[in-house]
Amino acid sequence: MEIRCGSYLVSDDAARLQPAAVHGYLSSSYWSENIPLETVRRALENSLCIGAYDQSGAQVALIRVISDYATYAYLCDVYVLEAHRKQGLSKAMMTFTLQHPRLQGLRTWNLRTRDAHGLYAQFGFKPIENHESYMVLRLINAYAPEQPFPR
């Protein structure tokens, strides 16, 4: 599937993804600093990815969705490169993602954000209710060599 947003192409075609470009952004982001390129490649291969591409074909944005395609989806690695913001891309990509045929009928969508609450609220996302029932195991140095699993 693909749509146009101004001069940009928004597509779920995995063959268009540019792992090196995605890695370039993610490896300096607050949520995946120092992530190895091979980890990015594996994540892209095992997720539904929505990319946005400028007129030259360069990848300028991403939404990665982890899902069982039946009940649950997790939005992650969502970004638009600074030079391409304020063009409506984030809203177009969110609409495309939420309307994607493979993601219909899901019971729960989750995401984490430090600074884009306003965007996601426009699509019905809300802070977690009953947050005391949610738990997380976070390996702070997951990309460091020989990360020990907590015991």
Question: pLDDT, tens digit, for every residue of 112-122?
Answer: 999 999 999 99
CA 102, CA 33: separation in Å to the nearest integer?
30
Smallest Cα–Cα separation from 115: which of 87, 88, 80? 80
CA 65, CA 138: separation in Å to the nearest integer?
19
In percent, the amount of the chain with pLDDT more than 70 equals 95
* Cross-strand partners of 8: 5
Query: Residues near 19 by Cβ (< 8 Å), separated by ≥ 6?
Result: 37, 40, 41, 44
Residue 150 pLDDT more than 60?
Answer: no
Q: Using CA of residue 48, residue 52, residue 55, residue 57, what is the dihedral sign?
A: negative
Question: pLDDT, tens digit, for every residue of 29-66?
Answer: 999 989 999 999 999 999 999 999 999 999 999 999 99
pLDDT at 145: 66
CATH number of 2-133: 3.40.630.30
User: Which pTM does this prediction carry?
Assistant: 0.88
**DSSP SS3 for 81:** coil
Listed in order, strand segments (DSSP E) in the chain are 2-5, 8-11, 48-53, 59-67, 72-80, 108-111
